[in-house]
Each structure stands twice: as C-alpha cells, then as structure tokens.
Structure 1
Amino acid sequence: MKLQQHKTKRRRGVVLTPLGLQRLQEAILSWEILNNKGDRLTLEQLSRQINISTKTLSRLWSLSSSVDHKTLKLCFAAFNLEVYEEDYTVLMEDNEIEIPSLRSETSIQARNLSRLFTEAVENHCTYPDGAVPLDSPFYINRPPIEELVYREVTQPGCVIRIRAPRQMGKSSLVLRLLAFANAQEYHTVSLKCNQIDDQCLTSLNKLLRCICWQIATQLNIDPSLDAHWDEEIGCKLSCSFYLQHYILKQCQKPIVLMLSDVDRFFDYPHIAHDFFALLRSWCEEARQNPHWHKLRLVVAYSTEQYACLDINHSPFNIGLPISLQEFTQQQVEDLARRYGIRWIPGKESARLMSLVGGHPALIQLALYYLSCGAMTLAELIEEAIANGGIYRHHLQQHWVRLQANPGLVRLYAELVTNKQGVAVDPMDAYKLESMGLIDFEGDRVLPRCELYRNYFAKQFSKIA
C-alpha cells in the first residue's frame, strides 16, 4: 500500500506592500536630496546603489512579482531602513499570499522589539524640542510638501512661504530645504528674525542695515554698508541697490535667502508694513529683472499673531504658499515604529489620535515618553490635561494667547461645550484657525482635538 505523501507549500518569495513601497520611495527621495543634489536616480543608478539587477528592481516595484526576503532587506538597508512585517507579504507556491501575524508574541519578536528600542536610543532619541535634526530617523516626510519646495527653490526668482501655527514642523522643513539648496551648490543665508535685537527694530533703517550685514557676513563678503548706503534716497532703495549691485553681483550662483520667524515683526506695525512691502518689491524685481533671478526667497512664520492683525491686510501673500498639515494615521504608526514601538495597526495609534489628532509635536512627545517607558498609553491619556502632564507647557501657551483675545475666549468657551460644533463668523474662524485651536466640519467649527476640548473646558470652569 502506497503511503500518501503530503506536499507542503513552499515559499516563493515576498511581495512589497503599498506601505512598504511608500516607505522605501520616501527614503530614496531623502537620499537623493542629501547625496545626489536632489536629482532622481534612474533605474540603472538605483541598481548600482543597491547592488541588485534592474530586472529584480522592476519586479519589486510591480507589487505583484516576488523577490527573496534577503533582496528586500538589501534594498531597505541601502537607504538605512529596517524591514517591518507590514512592508511585505509572503507569496506561497500556489500563489496564495501569507500575511505575517502581527499579534504573535514570540520570543523572536520580543528580541526584535528590544533591538529596535536600542537602535532608536542610539539614533538620537532625545527629548523632542525644536527642529528635527537632519540626521535624525524621526523626521516624517509629508508628501507632496518636500518635493514641492525642493522643486520650487530651483526656479529663478522664486518665493516660498512656509506658514503654520507653532510646533507644526516649519523649522524641520526649513533645515531640509537649506540642505537641499546646499546640495545644489547654491549659496544659503539663514536669518532668524527672533535673534534680532530690539534696538534694531526701532526703525526700518536699522532693521535693513542689520539684515544686509548678516547677508554679507554669511556669504563671506565684507559688508561695507556705509560705502553703499545712501540716506538721501531712503533705506528701502538703499537696501535694494545694496543687494543688486553689491551682493548679487559678487555671487555667481543662486542665493537662497531664508527668513524665519518673521512673525516677530507683526508686533512692530510701524516696521512690518514697509518691510513686507519691500519683500514684495524684490519678488516683482525677480520676475522682471535678470539681475535678481539669482535670489530665491523663503519666508517662514507662525500664524498665531494673525488673531491680532487686520484680516484685510495680509502681511505677505505672494509666492508658493506651504501650509503644514497634521500627520495621517499611517504616518503616526510609521513614526511609532521608528521609536521602537510595536503597535497593532489601527489600534493604539487610533487611541492616541483620538486625543491629540495628528499634531506633529504632540505625537512626537507622546512617542518619546512611551518609548522611554516613562508611562503607558493609558496613563498618558489619563493624565493629559493634568497640571503635571506632558502637554502642560503646550496647553499653557495656548491659554495665555487665547486670554489676550477676550472676544475669542467667549467664543471658544461655547465651542468646547458644544459637541456638534458651532457656526461662527468667518473672521473669528480665521483667527482661531491661525492660532491652531480649531478644525472644520463642513460649515461648523470644532476644537482641534479632544485634548484642547478637555483642557479648555477645565480652564473655563475655573473662571465661570
């Protein structure tokens, strides 16, 4: 009697998932920006970089043809990525796809979790405050923003406006834009307006001389301000002539002039109006005058001060506007993995986002404390609005800014107590959105996240 042989299914290889493809493509784009002057790699160049054939790469990109697991790890490792189970599916002999279990609590996965945490600590897992460093693994690309600004800054006479409430990622994006410009071998000048002394803001003339001195100094050019400054024609013309006939004339390559924190000037209306008018005039010159083509202007600012400005007099409204949005759930889960946190897709991330939405700074802060083992997710949510909670400084800053606008205080008090949202005057909605306090649901306005609703409800109850 013949014994029946049971043929076991053999694995034929792995197939990249859409999530895995997105992670790999974002890593390749970052590599191209920092190491290839932003030029996209051809299939042949990618093949040489990874050391696998173009045919194998084509199979990988197809999301339908399999490659072996070692090849997949090689592709990811070439761009400093770890392969996660969500990045691929396993193709069996009869074309059946095997989905790796995400809930398995094997000792191997426990060791992987420990290793991932160790790697996160070694990769500069420091307290998330300020811009995410260029070499940090914790920067999350937000397509298509990065590609838009990299492409725009290569255009003669361009203007880029990066605007958002505080802690949304402006400084981190600026760092990468400057790195891209440096990779293109452009000259870069970074002026942080919050470093300018108050005495330089007593008059437009002092401010413009201060800015011109910084530009020349950062370009290693002797400022020689007195020799090129004519008080008879006024400071705005003097500044413009100084840039065109002295600075731009000496530079053969484009100059990327980055002005960050220009919202500081909103507190000085006697200067802000003329200063922003001057920037607009440079933009017009760059479109018409070839001598100005080398100037690429990037302006970054926080929008909180919009609540105090006349909505009919926007301080600066030309060029490519970049508004930074919140993280998606997929991006939150990707960032959690980089911190060495292994979450079940769609579960823990949803709990955290139900509290803080996709706010970049609030998400980063939560993941930092969770990865350090300082608290559990349940404890973080429970203590979120406590006086000693991890978000206390962020919330206190919002409370101080809101109290400076009594009309908005009354309106926001109504918002936090109404679960269905409230229809508000467009001007008030504009101011609250600029402060980062609300979100929209059709024509109705809601608090931006439950953290804000709960915190401000608590504050209003104390003063009722």
Structure 2
Amino acid sequence: MKQSKSTRKRGLILTITGLKRLQAAILAMEKVQNNGHRFTLEDLGDRMNVSTKTLNRLWSLNTGVDQKTLKMCFNAFNLELYREDYAVLSEPNHIESSQPLSIALSTKEQNPSPSLSLDSLTTQEYNQLENLWSYPDGPVPLDSPFYVERPPIEELVYREVIQPGCVIRIRAPREMGKTSLVLRLLAFAQMQGYRSVNLNCSQIDSNCLTDLNKLLRTFCWQIATELGIDPKLDEKWDGEIGSKLSCSLYLQSYLLKQSQSPVVLVLNEVDRFFEYPEIAQEFFGLLRSWYEEARQDNNLQKLKLVVVYSTEVYVSLHINRSPFNIGLPIRLPEFTEYQVEDLARRHGLDWTYNNEVKQLMSLVGGHPALIRIALYYLCCQGITLEELIRDAIANGGIYRYHLWRHWAILQENPSLVKAYIGVVTAKQNISLNPIEAHKLESLGLITYESDRILPRCELYRAYFKKQLSVAEFEYQSLQKRA
C-alpha cells in the first residue's frame, strides 16, 4: 500500500446518500423531459449552471466543490440540499489516502465520459460500497445503480400510462423484477403529476374473497384511504342496486370526481383471485367494464389500471369479460448475456473478455434474482465463481435459502411434488395438469421451450432432482408399510 500523504483540502464532496438522491432525480427528469435518453455532461452543465470540469470533480467523490455550487446542482433538479448529502473537506492536514475507500478490491482510474451514463454517475468505489452494504433481497430501489432496464419495456409502460383509461398488464414469475418495474412506473407517473394507489391483493382476507359485496367495499375503502379521501362507504354505497354497480358509481362519481389528477391503480398479485373462480369471474369482469366505459366517460379516463400477476390465468373467463386480453401486455424476460455482463461491470467485475457470464448463466440462466445474489457474493464474500457453481450444484450453496423456500412450498402440496419429479427427471417431453403447471410456473420452477416443459435452470434441475428423489423414496416406503 502506498504511503498516505498530508494535504489541505477544501470544500464539500457528495456522500453516498447525496449521490443516490441526485442520481435518482436526474434519471427521473431524463424520462420526463428527454424521452429516457441520458443527458450529456454539457446538458447537465447548462441545467446546473456549472462547467463540465466542475461536474467531473463532483462525480469523483474525492474532490471538493463549494457549497453554493452543490446547492445549484441540487436545485436544478428540484432538490433541497441536506446535511447528509455532503461531507466537509476543510480540515487542515486532512489525510488523503491513495485509495479514498478502504476496500480490498482493485480500482482503475477512468477518463471522464462525454455523456452521463451510470458508469460516469457512479464511481467504482460507490458500487463496491453498495455491494458491501446491501444484500439483493426484494425490489431494486429507485436510486440503485443495479436496476437493469430491459428495452423496450420501460419505454412502453411510460408511454402507455399517459394514455386516458389505459390498462397495463405486467406478467412474470416471481423474483423477475415486476415490483422493481412498478416502482419506476409509479415514479414516472408522479413526475407527470398523477396520483397513485398500490394495492397488494395477497393482503386481502380470505373471507372477503368469498363475499363479493365485502370484497368490493374493502377494495373501495383501500383506494379512498390511499388517496386521502374520507371513504363514507355507508353513505355512498347502495346495496339495492348490487355491489358491482355500487362499486362503479362510487369510483366514478365519488373518488375520481374528487381527483383533479389521473390516478394510477396498481393491483399486485392478482393471482390471489384465481383460487376463488366465482369471485374472479365477477371482479375481473368489473375491471374489464371500466376499461370499456372509459372510452366515453371522462372520470373513468382518469383511471390508469396496472395489473400485475405471475402466470396466465387458469380460471375460465369469458373472452369478453376478461381483463387479460386488453391493454398493453408486458412479459418480463430473463436477462440476456449482455445485460448480465453490464450488471457485473456495475459491480466492479471485468467479465468482458472471459467466459464468466456464460459459466454463471449455465447454472441459473438469466434469472434476475439469482444473478444479483451471485454478483453480491462474488464481490463481497470472497468466493470465486468456480466455488460458487460447485457448491450450488452440490448442496445449494449461496442459493440454499432460496431453494429451501421453494422446497417448503412444494412439500405442502404432494401433487406438485409428484409433478415436479416428472419434470426434473424427464428425458423426453411430458405433459402436466394445467393447474399444476400454472402453480409451478407461478413459483418460477419451470419454463417452456416450444411445447416442452423444463426445469427453470440447471440449478433447479440438480438440486430438486436430488431432493425429490429422496421424497419419492420416502413416499414409496410409507406406501409399502401401509
């Protein structure tokens, strides 16, 4: 390690918190005012009224700028500068190490980029800190540099949500990034001045899913509460005309009429309704009717509906009453090799010239969550890619908790266990009961290749083949004893 040198430094530098806030504001404005294209450094300099040289100093995170300049940069994007956004570099004899962050990972000095990309906005030191602090669990935060866009999906949903009375259907198995996309869609909607309601259908009580009137009253109460409107359900609800008509009138004539701005209504986990076919028929038919009536109803045109689910429905819905054949369909694909390589680079890994991307994807495919977990451990836990793959195949390795969670769900349903045994051991095409196939796909355990049903990835094939073989042996033993 090189000897530290004593210097006198002046001014302020961005903290990680400040950098993340400023980056998120810039990205949001790029979506709204620049059609999603990156601002160049010159564009940013003009907006902030500073030189590109000053911007390069700001992004470096180790060269100070004065407080007035920092305030100008934040104010240009409607941000107030807070104390946690910056650190002061004004102490005499401030100790400046040759490596500003004490992280045992090599760094390379890079030339400033002519345009503002993630690489120029976030230094490698920042990526390393983010890796060390944040285990990739749940949706990717808005201000994270690790969100991977899957063109043209983001552009399509941003363009669609500004259409009157639109419906957007986002479908993908679990842990594929649905919630991360919804967060960005809602942030974009907020920039348009829209209001939003984000409902999780898995939180609805079971007793509401057997009583349509109770379900729709609960549904309306949640929307009103999220919008900050007094529900007044007893006053506004007319049971004599039926629950669906009451719900529609309540939405049109009470909630939407009070809102000057459009409302984005997100329904997450609507798969929950598939377990209750009779209720599903009525509820989904109601959603479809709002979409159709919005063509001539000004209030309903304010409603922008986003439906999020894991798999195609296995409930039989009449083609003219289903919301799953209207609006913009979005299906989230796995990451491509290029996207995995790009994400690895954001983590500080140089996988450009070797075959590490192919090795990792041969194990987990382009599964977003499994890719993120792998990169976290490779960067932060000191394991090699070879060790990661070997341990994962042997006993689950870094994925053991992910695999155990799926295994616990499978064990609760013996018919699913039997069906999945057939999938992971099959040497030729097999057929499954449609409902069992639906449940396995919603868990993310299978994929389709033409008309073939296959395990989602090699990790699943290896791990569950071993686990399911043991389960099948135990089951057969119990049958013999019985």
Normalising by the residue count of structure 2, what TM-score does the alignment of the two structures yield?
0.71
Deviation at 1:435, TM superposition (A): 4.1
Farther off after superposition, 448-457 or 374-383: 374-383
Long gaps (5+) in structure 1: 1-28, 53-69, 85-114
**Other structure's SS at 2:397 match:** coil
- Amino acid in structure 2 at the alignment position of 1:184: Q
- The equivalent of 2:251 in structure 1 is 243
**Other structure's SS at 2:295 match:** helix
Q: Distance in 1 between matches of 2:277 and 2:448?
A: 30
| Counterparts of residues 126-205 of structure 1 (less than 5 Å) | 126-205=134-213
Farther off after superposition, 193-202 or 181-190: 193-202
Give the 3 Å change call, closer, same or farther, for CA 392–45 of structure 1 in structure 2: closer
- The equivalent of 2:429 in structure 1 is 422
- Amino acid in structure 1 at the alignment position of 2:124: L
Q: Distance in 1 between matches of 2:27 and 2:279?
A: 37
- The equivalent of 1:363 in structure 2 is 371
Deviation at 1:233, TM superposition (A): 0.9
**Other structure's SS at 2:119 match:** coil
Deviation at 1:426, TM superposition (A): 9.0
**Other structure's SS at 1:73 match:** coil
- Amino acid in structure 2 at the alignment position of 1:49: D
Give the 3 Å change call, closer, same or farther, for CA 312–216 of structure 1 in structure 2: closer
Of 331, 337, 343, the residue aligned with 2:345 is 337
Farther off after superposition, 433-442 or 328-337: 433-442
**Other structure's SS at 1:216 match:** helix
Q: Distance in 1 between matches of 2:43 and 2:379?
A: 33
- Amino acid in structure 2 at the alignment position of 1:211: F
- The equivalent of 2:73 in structure 1 is none
| Counterparts of residues 395-406 of structure 1 (less than 5 Å) | 395-402=403-410
- Amino acid in structure 2 at the alignment position of 1:422: N
Farther off after superposition, 42-51 or 452-461: 42-51
Give the 3 Å change call, closer, same or farther, for CA 379–142 of structure 1 in structure 2: same
Q: Is the 8 A contact 1:33 1:183 kept in 2?
A: no
Give the 3 Å change call, closer, same or farther, for CA 391–41 of structure 1 in structure 2: closer
Q: Distance in 1 between matches of 2:36 and 2:417?
A: 55
| Counterparts of residues 3-402 of structure 1 (less than 5 Å) | 34-36=28-30, 38-40=32-34, 48-51=42-45, 73-76=112-115, 78-82=116-120, 116=124, 119-122=127-130, 125-303=133-311, 309-310=314-315, 316-317=323-324, 318-385=326-393, 389-402=397-410
Q: Is the 8 A contact 1:50 1:74 kept in 2?
A: no
Give the 3 Å change call, closer, same or farther, for CA 311–341 of structure 1 in structure 2: farther
Deviation at 1:444, TM superposition (A): 3.3
Deviation at 1:141, TM superposition (A): 0.3
Give the 3 Å change call, closer, same or farther, for CA 44–363 of structure 1 in structure 2: closer
Give the 3 Å change call, closer, same or farther, for CA 30–328 of structure 1 in structure 2: farther
Deviation at 1:341, TM superposition (A): 2.1
Deviation at 1:83, TM superposition (A): 9.2
Q: Is the 8 A contact 2:197 2:265 kept in 1?
A: yes
Q: Distance in 2 between matches of 1:377 and 1:156?
A: 49
Q: Is the 8 A contact 2:169 2:328 kept in 1?
A: yes
Q: Is the 8 A contact 1:32 1:41 kept in 2?
A: no
Q: Is the 8 A contact 2:378 2:384 kept in 1?
A: yes
Long gaps (5+) in structure 2: 1-22, 47-108, 474-482
Please tell me the root mean square deviation across aligned C-alpha atoms, in Å: 3.3
**Other structure's SS at 1:384 match:** helix
Give the 3 Å change call, closer, same or farther, for CA 37–248 of structure 1 in structure 2: farther
Q: Is the 8 A contact 2:264 2:306 kept in 1?
A: yes
- Amino acid in structure 2 at the alignment position of 1:186: Y
Q: 1:121-167 deviations in whole A, cap 9, x for unaligned?
A: 14784111111000011100011111111111011110011111110
Q: Distance in 1 between matches of 2:235 and 2:430?
A: 58
Q: Distance in 1 between matches of 2:38 and 2:455?
A: 50
Q: Distance in 1 between matches of 2:287 and 2:127?
A: 45
**Other structure's SS at 2:271 match:** helix
Q: Is the 8 A contact 1:117 1:371 kept in 2?
A: no
Q: Is the 8 A contact 1:303 1:435 kept in 2?
A: no
Farther off after superposition, 424-433 or 409-418: 424-433
- The equivalent of 1:64 in structure 2 is none
Q: Distance in 2 between matches of 1:44 and 1:222?
A: 42
Deviation at 1:179, TM superposition (A): 0.2
Give the 3 Å change call, closer, same or farther, for CA 374–316 of structure 1 in structure 2: farther
Deviation at 1:283, TM superposition (A): 1.2
Q: 1:333-369 deviations in whole A, cap 9, x for unaligned?
A: 1111112222244511111100000000111111111
Q: Distance in 2 between matches of 1:444 and 1:193?
A: 31
Give the 3 Å change call, closer, same or farther, for CA 153–44 of structure 1 in structure 2: closer
- Amino acid in structure 1 at the alignment position of 2:455: P
Q: Is the 8 A contact 1:189 1:215 kept in 2?
A: yes
Q: Is the 8 A contact 1:188 1:256 kept in 2?
A: yes
Give the 3 Å change call, closer, same or farther, for CA 118–229 of structure 1 in structure 2: closer
- Amino acid in structure 2 at the alignment position of 1:146: E
Q: Distance in 1 between matches of 2:337 and 2:187?
A: 28
Normalising by the residue count of structure 1, what TM-score does the alignment of the two structures yield?
0.73
**Other structure's SS at 1:157 match:** coil
Matched residue count:
384
